[in-house]
Amino acid sequence: MNVAVKGPEAFADVRRLIVVAAHPDDLETLVGGTVAQLTGRGIQVYSVNCTLGDIGTPDASQTRPALASTRLAETGEAARILNLAQTFNLGHHDGELLPDLTLRAQIARLYRLTKADTLWTFDPHWTGQIHPDHRAAGQAALDAYMPSKMPLYHPEQLNEPGVGLGCLERVFVFSTDRSPDIWVDVTAVYPTKLAASMAHKSQFPHGEESLAWMKELDRRQGQAINTLYAETFKQIDVW
């Protein structure tokens, strides 16, 4: 059983964090405040977006390659604001992500390359998760955890310079309704979270006004710990 914890001390031992998400703005809007706190402590944070986010527009006159290019640039700007160590995009099409063996191997390679000790990803089992890409990203990220540590799994990856066996020790999920056990007060870093989220101008063309949903979600989570804004996580036992 986990020891119930309710604060950022849950991440006290994190040195290298990898966040596996589906779309370019997921990290920023869902866990960007906690990420800002961790990078502020000098922790290396790596961001993985499984899809290009290339259907994320109501404008039918846009082309998918052009939108993908815009979103990669926005990802770079947000990463600069959050001081991320590196961002990766796995190149899948938005709305079509599957937790298949290809995606599993792609993610395992990044566990091996970044030498991350901690993983954050979507809870693939949240019944309220309406976006299939979020479920797929979370499932593939959890599925890659174990094989990444095994030398006979895609051994060709281990021949790449700088790549070694996966060394993840801790796994946390976000966007969960399975009784989150970690609440992080992100009020002090909220301006940074907002700025990183607003860097995704194609998604939030009216700036803070377009992010009212995010503020409302964070406000609701904040009520549980009597603060203005909070983000929540649940730790998965991995032994």
Q: How are beta strands 230-236 and 170-174 bridged, if at all?
A: antiparallel
Within 177-196, the residues that bind Zn ion by CB under 5 A are none
Contacts of 158 (CB under 8 A, 6+ apart): 112, 151, 164, 165
Smallest distance, Å, CB 23 to Zn ion? 3
Smallest distance, Å, CB 61 to Zn ion? 23
Smallest distance, Å, CB 21 to Zn ion? 7
Tell me: does residue 200 bind Zn ion (CB under 5 A).
no
Smallest distance, Å, CB 192 to Zn ion? 20
Residue number with CB closer to Zn ion (71 or 234) = 71
Q: How many CB atoms lie within 10 A of CB 40?
A: 13
Using CB under 5 A as the binding criterion, the count of chain residues that bind Zn ion stands at 3
Residue nearest to Zn ion (CB): 23
Strand order in the sheet with 16-21: 86-92, 44-51, 16-21, 118-122, 170-174, 230-236, 182-185
CB 45 within 8 A of CB 35: yes
Smallest distance, Å, CB 138 to Zn ion? 11
Smallest distance, Å, CB 46 to Zn ion? 18
| Candidates 14-22, 106-114, 156-164, 204-212; binding stretch for Zn ion (CB under 5 A) | 14-22
Distances (CA, A) of 10 to 18, 37, 82: 16, 13, 20
Placement of tokens 């994190």 in the chain = 14
Tell me: does residue 26 bind Zn ion (CB under 5 A).
yes
| Candidates 26-34, 59-67, 79-87, 226-234; binding stretch for Zn ion (CB under 5 A) | 26-34
Rounded CA separation 212/58 (Å): 18
| Candidates 25-33, 98-106, 181-189, 201-209; binding stretch for Zn ion (CB under 5 A) | 25-33
| Candidates 1-9, 21-29, 155-163, 219-227; binding stretch for Zn ion (CB under 5 A) | 21-29
Residue number with CB closer to Zn ion (23 or 193) = 23
CB 162 within 8 A of CB 208: no
CB 24 within 8 A of CB 48: no
Tell me: does residue 23 bind Zn ion (CB under 5 A).
yes
Residue number with CB closer to Zn ion (31 or 43) = 31
Contacts of 109 (CB under 8 A, 6+ apart): 148, 154, 157, 160, 163
Residue number with CB closer to Zn ion (43 or 52) = 52
Q: Which residues would be at the binding site for Zn ion (CB under 5 A)?
A: 22-23, 26
